[in-house]
Structure 1
């Protein structure tokens, strides 16, 4: 763990609202917390440099440090009476789809604490299904001796017959024709009297002891965990009295574990395992869990899942009246250790004084939070040290779980991401790439290039977050003459898409300053604050692919994947949409003849250049990495003017997969190499609103070049000032 770090309970607050800070320190002694404003988060000495400005407001102070641990791993927790297991014959059974069966012992269904003083556990391990039982003679373990095949369905069961003094374990493959396996079984003598009176039942884990809520986590899918007073028949049907039977296909969108047995022993899942996944009965006839919950009656547990660190609050801050809207941070310092936890101050409702709104892409920051890239080599570490950049990388610290661009230990994709944890990548000074021609910033710190430019140009602005917009809707946007995005507003909910579309349809002006925006559809659940979900379905530029049949979100029950596959291509909102991706390299735009039309010539006032943006702190050029193009077939407004297009991209750049029909044919008929471009566009909308989009992630990295006096900066200033003036 980091020596000093923390997180906030919410990313933004308006005057009168309170933000709580959750801090962990392993240093002992005190730490100092003070308030700063974050203007520029780029430590590159060739640029403006880090601009972390002190704020003179009552805030923080000195606090005694304390270590607050993180407990990774999802599981089910059920409060059951101690007498539940006190029967002459007890059977524990479950249907499983293990993903790491060759590892250490993993608990499937436990009653009491089988690694402690009293309890029984149905487990798996390298020797297949296993039993762990506490008796008067100590802890006894046994296994069937038949290794499990990964990603195959089995029914496993363990029966303890107290009177006979025996225990039987059975492992039955549910697809024997494919696996070529028979059921495996073993019977062992129980030495001593079983101690089964431990209270509480767990799924996919077992109690972990003092200070640790769970251990021996299971990686894989789990279905139909059942407790029976008696035995099961050969088909797995209870021959005795059902004590508890948990239907994991119920309340898929939430955290409840529903017992359909007579006792109603309901529980909850902890640390948000993946739900809405195919179960043992899935046939492929239905792709949406809402339509066939019995086909989706499984939960995929992971040993590294995390929802909420659950840390206690060290201090709070209530935003005072009159505090300017902006990006701030709680700076923590103790000796040589420092961390800055960002947060946003919203404008006072009804008192908006700025004509321009910056919409912080916090859903995207969260989707990428703690992205382990594996690129932290010796040269990169040297740059971080030389520049005084943020030294804390997810490559070194996996304690705080991962991003939706990583995979779990069992190689399944991370579909859920929470902000209720330290997000190491959402810090000023964090470098993503060892960029040979620039700074290598992405997401949160890259967007401070725009904030720094707004400050340098004296353009008044307010800030709201994606989460604010999703919670409260288009009314938040209506007071503003123009809404500006950052460099990569990739992840959006139906609520944020609806709000932005309504804003432009009502006459608003949208300035889209990134690439690969409005790309993935994500889900939220108001009952689970702070978490987003993405299912990487069907196609697209992806870090992993969702399993077939698992394209529907668990949090809202709706189809995931690309917004384009959901009938809302980015071109429909922003005029351009994702077209090509390559290495983190920047090139330039070439101004097109259409830019000289008197109707749009004002955009290029003071810009005589034909080549635009062959410089910058992001890849060395204003057009790079991920590129968006105009396409009327995908929704670009028919009167859109393409002002400039990029050129000169390296051999790593390829068209996005959703545009390719084969190795030669493209969806819109353009040659493959023509799809490798960023289009800078302008469109007057029938509503009286307007669009200006640049189609490139690296655009804002060029704004500060030559003291903010360059063609990229002048173009954006012409647009923003005209939009801000309401024209």
Structure 2
């Protein structure tokens, strides 16, 4: 039993729909306010409280299935006669599996009684009729990762020609009288054209470009001209011809047709766009400058943008509902799932003094990350111990149809560029166990921050990255203090601009995390809320974008790291990503410079030179997981005060590749850049920034029920930022 909501956040009084798949006959839905993440296997218990809501007592269970695989489909106009067929396409396969045929182009009637499928495998190329009977075959296969041109024609008289142009070699098969011919002219009402899939799936892995389909055959000379790169409409005209422009609008699901056979198509499950086509000249890597050279899509059998489940539960959030983290809890006997979402303030609500921005784009980047289960033994070596795996990860490894994370690769080895919320995401749960930190990370960890605020009695509201992207600086306006989550790694230019505007206008910002504001990220329009990245070389990465593929299809901007765009996190937040490691966390040593802001340590029994924050749950300290350093060369303001610097990191805490260069100088061990810095600085007009430079910080705040130096220090800063007209200078 599991489900998902149609959004990750909703204002008080708003409507949210939940889609559930359950093998059980019925389940009970309740609305829960999530107070703290945890479970029996964590070092803390899950805290939740039921909230009254207009929900049914029980809901019938039903099984719903996600179907992965990307393709383009376009219904044919219903007034076109069929008296033959022509199918042609450029292809660059990325995974040819033995005898398994993958459909690159299909044209089929609604009842499956007529039509053709053009397919490839490691054994060669084939033309089949709609029923699957082989019509023609070439025992020559396209070469993986290289462009070929494949075409098949069937004349009115039943003559068949199958041709493969592979590099400078051409292969043909001509069959006369092989088909019975088209003695009866048939209408195309209900017929469907598909690129990259057949009517029963048979998904293609690889790139496709310039598909051409016609309801009549064409001459061999026309095939040669198409193989030479000539425009299909120029060669064949528009009558009874489809020429779908696959790469023309990389940000859109709609695909235009330059012919008249269809009114256009739709890309299903978001195949990768803004990728070079067969005629890329390797002179320009920005698809906006040479759109004609970026006329391909990269399709995968495991792409998933929208699971497409039906709605089972509709919730109208109480109009007076407090802003915070919630879940629809669905229960059937001992079986439970909690589908999380955030309730944001309704329009017109007076701004709370404190605003928390949950980094939901980072949650999506890691959504359904499978490596804990798939590489369990390798992680024993990474951690130096066996930490266990959440059972949901093992289940997820058996269900690839639920889509992957931005840290995964597709079955063909290419990187996953898109991640959406319109699917079950088993690791965005308040009781999810993360081996990396021996318990809490991401959403479950950020609930600890909300619990800390609750225990202090703070008046706060919660929004997500989506509200920040939607409203920009207006989303933060009026809130005295804005607090980030523990790992706000993925952000857009609009989000960075909003944080900057908040501080410039006198607002205070507490960056209570690490590895933040690192990857250039964009969100696509549409109900799936998909985010996109491109992974440039020279960064901490699970995969690297292919040649000419580093611009985001959604915006056209260069992807990769904000650092390489001149917006290193140090410029805005004082610190930026420097190292990572997952064996143990460390503590911080207070610096002499911290005396300039001695109030930060009020009630904290830590003198200059002494260490604090070297204990706690999870990794055992406040400086760990992924950490950030201050660096004036990367933009840390000259007036920033470094309050403390982490010490005692093991050799397993390694510098990010962003900073690794070849040097003939004798290296310093340990590398002085492997450290976490806590900084604070003010800005004209009363704005200020406090940054801790560590993902592990907020977990350490919970040690001994919050009775610890890390918690008290953070509370001092929050109190000062919230109430004092001068947020930084020593009183």
* Common fold by TM > 0.5: yes
Q: d(CA) in 2 for partners of 1:653 and 1:57? A: 47
Does the aligned pair in 2 maintain the 1:91–1:231 contact within 8 Å? no
Does the aligned pair in 2 maintain the 1:575–1:693 contact within 8 Å? yes
Say which of 411, 414, 423 aligns to 1:409: 411
Partner of 1:160: 154
Please list the CA deviations of residues 234-254 of structure 1 after superposition, one character each: whole Å capped at 9, or x if unmatched. Answer: 343566555121222312210
Q: CA RMSD in A?
A: 2.6
Q: d(CA) in 2 for partners of 1:255 and 1:399? A: 20
Q: d(CA) in 2 for partners of 1:63 and 1:189? A: 60
Q: How far off its partner does 1:651 sit?
A: 1.4
Does the aligned pair in 2 maintain the 1:231–1:240 contact within 8 Å? no
Partner of 1:399: 401
State how 1:50-61 maps to structure 2 within 5 Å: 50-61=46-57
Partner of 2:729: none
Say which of 21, 25, 28 aligns to 1:24: 21
Q: d(CA) in 2 for partners of 1:162 and 1:629? A: 71
In structure 2, list runs of 5 or more residues that go unmatched.
726-731
Does the aligned pair in 2 maintain the 1:82–1:200 contact within 8 Å? no
Q: d(CA) in 2 for partners of 1:717 and 1:584? A: 28
Q: How far off its partner does 1:5 sit?
A: 1.0
Does the aligned pair in 1 maintain the 2:274–2:549 contact within 8 Å? yes
Q: d(CA) in 1 for partners of 2:630 and 2:459? A: 30
* 1:110–1:281 CA distance, 2 compared to 1 (3 A): same
Q: d(CA) in 1 for partners of 2:109 and 2:144? A: 27
* 1:651–1:31 CA distance, 2 compared to 1 (3 A): same
Q: d(CA) in 2 for partners of 1:608 and 1:241? A: 82
Please list the CA deviations of residues 56-77 of structure 1 after superposition, one character each: whole Å capped at 9, or x if unmatched. Answer: 3333431011112211111111
Partner of 1:652: 652
Q: How far off its partner does 1:166 sit?
A: 3.4
> Secondary structure at the residue paired with 1:713?
helix
Number of residue equivalences: 698
> Secondary structure at the residue paired with 1:344?
strand
Q: d(CA) in 2 for partners of 1:55 and 1:578? A: 39
Partner of 1:220: 206
Partner of 2:43: 47
Q: d(CA) in 2 for partners of 1:35 and 1:664? A: 61
Q: How far off its partner does 1:261 sit?
A: 2.0
* 1:390–1:326 CA distance, 2 compared to 1 (3 A): farther
Q: How far off its partner does 1:354 sit?
A: 2.9
Partner of 1:506: 505
Partner of 1:179: none
Q: d(CA) in 2 for partners of 1:61 and 1:31? A: 9
Please list the CA deviations of residues 425-450 of structure 1 after superposition, one character each: whole Å capped at 9, or x if unmatched. Answer: 10011112165xxx332211111121
Q: d(CA) in 2 for partners of 1:248 and 1:65? A: 40
Q: d(CA) in 1 for partners of 2:127 and 2:398? A: 37
* 1:232–1:440 CA distance, 2 compared to 1 (3 A): farther
Partner of 2:219: 231
Does the aligned pair in 2 maintain the 1:644–1:681 contact within 8 Å? yes
Q: How far off its partner does 1:40 sit?
A: 1.2
Please list the CA deviations of residues 14-64 of structure 1 after superposition, one character each: whole Å capped at 9, or x if unmatched. Answer: 22211111111122x110000111111122667332112222333343101
TM-score between the two structures when normalised by the length of structure 2 = 0.90
State how 1:213-612 maps to structure 2 within 5 Å: 215-228=201-214, 229=216, 230-233=218-221, 234-235=224-225, 236=227, 243-263=241-261, 265-352=263-350, 354-375=352-373, 377=376, 394-433=396-435, 435=437, 439-527=438-526, 529-597=528-596, 600-609=597-606, 610-612=610-612
Q: d(CA) in 2 for partners of 1:389 and 1:187? A: 56
* 1:355–1:134 CA distance, 2 compared to 1 (3 A): closer
Kindly indicate whether residue 70 of structure 2 is the aligned counterpart of residue 74 of structure 1. Answer: yes
Does the aligned pair in 1 maintain the 2:244–2:265 contact within 8 Å? no
Kindly indicate whether residue 100 of structure 2 is the aligned counterpart of residue 102 of structure 1. Answer: no
Does the aligned pair in 1 maintain the 2:77–2:261 contact within 8 Å? no
Q: d(CA) in 1 for partners of 2:603 and 2:340? A: 36
Q: d(CA) in 1 for partners of 2:181 and 2:442? A: 56
Q: d(CA) in 2 for partners of 1:240 and 1:478? A: 58
Pick which of 653-662 and 53-62 moved more. 53-62
Q: d(CA) in 1 for partners of 2:327 and 2:710? A: 29
* 1:391–1:410 CA distance, 2 compared to 1 (3 A): closer
Pick which of 111-120 and 569-578 moved more. 111-120
Does the aligned pair in 2 maintain the 1:127–1:148 contact within 8 Å? no
Q: d(CA) in 2 for partners of 1:416 and 1:450? A: 28
Kindly indicate whether residue 677 of structure 2 is the aligned counterpart of residue 686 of structure 1. Answer: no
Q: d(CA) in 2 for partners of 1:339 and 1:298? A: 40
Q: How far off its partner does 1:80 sit?
A: 0.8
Q: d(CA) in 2 for partners of 1:612 and 1:550? A: 45
> Secondary structure at the residue paired with 2:562?
coil
> Secondary structure at the residue paired with 2:58?
strand
Partner of 2:128: 132
In structure 1, list runs of 5 or more residues that go unmatched.
177-181, 209-214
Partner of 1:715: 713
> Secondary structure at the residue paired with 1:94?
strand
Please list the CA deviations of residues 456-503 of structure 1 after superposition, one character each: whole Å capped at 9, or x if unmatched. Answer: 222221101110111012122121111111110000111111111100
Please list the CA deviations of residues 552-587 of structure 1 after superposition, one character each: whole Å capped at 9, or x if unmatched. Answer: 111112111111112211111111001112235311
Q: d(CA) in 1 for partners of 2:654 and 2:278? A: 39
Please list the CA deviations of residues 250-302 of structure 1 after superposition, one character each: whole Å capped at 9, or x if unmatched. Answer: 12210122211244541111111110001111121111111101110001111
